[in-house]
Chain A
Amino acid sequence: MAKRKVPEINSGSMADIAFLLLIFWLMTTSMNVDSGIARKLPPLVEQDNDPGMDAHERNVLMVFVSGNNQLMVAGQRMDISGLCEKAKTFITNPTNDPNMPEKEMTDIPLLGRYPVSKGLISLQNDRGTSYDMYLQVQNELTKAYNQAKDELAQQKFGRSFTDLNDEQRKAVNKAIPVKISEAEPRNLTGGK
């Protein structure tokens, strides 16, 4: 019986295969992406220039986190799960409640005249508060703002906030400005 020839494997396309793999990896891998919550610190100015000081009472939502990680919102103890909802109602003030923040009609490109809330969230913490709790509170507040922005974006542009283009996003950001003021820290428990 004659020996049959084994056909050679064509390796000419190996490079192409390698290229495909390379491109696939490049598109899909995200190596240790850093993520976090972005904040702007207020510039260092005189203490009495704090915007929380001269604001009307109805325009300020006091959020206080105590040294043993308990949350107090507007003078009442609260669980963290309720904070987002509370903050959102405060920001948007859907019923124009006189106890909730005032609104000021402002001209915003793309949106026209929009009642911009004057609400300000004043966040205060103790030196003994754990960072974890603090960040959870920041997270809930961010979530409240994001939800409010999302709702406005849906209502005006029919898309969620993340899908808007730059100009629309700028308009929404102007309509719902993120105002979280952090007061100078208190030291109640003497913890360091």
Chain B
Amino acid sequence: MAQFKRNGNKETPGISTSSLPDIVFMILFFFMATTTMREVELKVQVDAPKASEAQKLEKKSLVSYIYVGPPTKALAPQFGTAPRIQLNGAYSSLNNITEFIASERDKLSEKDRPDMTVSLKIDATTKMGMVTDIKQELRRANALSINYAAAKDKGEGNNR
């Protein structure tokens, strides 16, 4: 029976790094799969109210966002502290909502359009007058499916 000859070379071999690229790739894919790009920079502070019955918002691709709140700290000296509406990247007025909804609706495919949802991310301190105006505009734009953004309140989960 043949015997393998042991040569005297007994140095410890280095840890194989050949799988390192795979690991790096995986991390990359992980980030690619999980991060959702925030296309817009928030110019308003939104501190959503808490609600125990808040439910997860499904199908994010069908959701358009309207942000309402006081301007962020950096922009407050310039724009004051009165609540403002933000659509896409910039401050907007009520009149632009119809236009905004139309353009958002155009982005969706024909069959997805009825399922379009508008998520209202509104700061808790905002007065209802403004919210009502926005709701009226949405009705005018025929975007009837809305979602009041609210943080899930875990403290009250037991009385559900």
Which A residues fall within an 8 A CB radius of B?
3, 5-6, 8-9, 11-12, 14-15, 18-19, 22, 25-26, 29, 31-44, 65, 125-132, 134-136, 138-139, 142-143, 146-147, 150, 185, 187, 191-192
Q: If the complex has contacts A22-B30, A34-B56, A44-B140, are A14 and B23 also in contact, measured as CB distance less than 8 A?
A: yes
Q: If the complex has contacts A15-B22, A143-B52, are A37 and B144 also in contact, measured as CB distance less than 8 A?
A: no
Please, which residues of chain A bring their CB within 8 A of the CB of B151?
35
CA distance A114 to B4 in the complex (A): 85
Tally of A-B Cβ pairs under 8 angstroms: 164
Q: Are B152 and A136 in contact, CB atoms less than 8 angstroms apart? A: no
Residue of A nearest to B51 (CB): A139
Q: Are B127 and A29 in contact, CB atoms less than 8 angstroms apart? A: no
CA distance A129 to B125 in the complex (A): 10
Please, which residues of chain A bring their CB within 8 A of the CB of B155?
none
Q: Are A128 and B160 in contact, CB atoms less than 8 angstroms apart? A: no
Within 8 A of A (CB), among B37-58: 48-49, 51-57
List of 3 A-B pairs having minimum Cβ-Cβ separation, nearest first: A127-B129, A132-B124, A139-B51
Question: Distance in Å from the Cβ of A71 to the closest Cβ of chain B?
Answer: 13
Q: If the complex has contacts A42-B144, A44-B139, A131-B128, are A37 and B12 also in contact, measured as CB distance less than 8 A?
A: no
Q: Are B55 and A191 in contact, CB atoms less than 8 angstroms apart? A: no
Residue of A nearest to B141 (CB): A44
Q: Are A36 and B55 in contact, CB atoms less than 8 angstroms apart? A: yes
Interface size on B, residues (CB 8 A): 59
Partner of A26, one of B33, B63, B131, B135: B33
Please, which residues of chain A bring their CB within 8 A of the CB of B150?
35-37, 135, 139
Residue of B nearest to A182 (CB): B135
Q: Are A36 and B147 in contact, CB atoms less than 8 angstroms apart? A: yes
19 of the cross-chain contacts (CB-CB < 8 Å) are A8-B12, A11-B16, A14-B23, A29-B34, A34-B56, A34-B149, A36-B48, A36-B54, A36-B120, A38-B117, A38-B146, A40-B146, A130-B125, A130-B128, A131-B124, A142-B51, A143-B159, A146-B53, A185-B132
Partner of B144, one of A26, A34, A40, A130: A40
Q: Is B62 an interface residue (CB 8 A)?
A: no
Residue of A nearest to B128 (CB): A129
Partner of A127, one of B23, B60, B132: B132
Q: Are A43 and B144 in contact, CB atoms less than 8 angstroms apart? A: yes
Q: Are A131 and B23 in contact, CB atoms less than 8 angstroms apart? A: no
CA distance A107 to B54 in the complex (A): 31
Question: Distance in Å from the Cβ of A116 to the closest Cβ of chain B?
Answer: 22
Q: Are B148 and A142 in contact, CB atoms less than 8 angstroms apart? A: no
Please, which residues of chain B bring their CB within 8 A of the CB of A36?
48, 51, 54-55, 57, 119-120, 147-150
Q: Are B56 and A131 in contact, CB atoms less than 8 angstroms apart? A: no
Please, which residues of chain A bring their CB within 8 A of the CB of B53?
37, 139, 142-143, 146
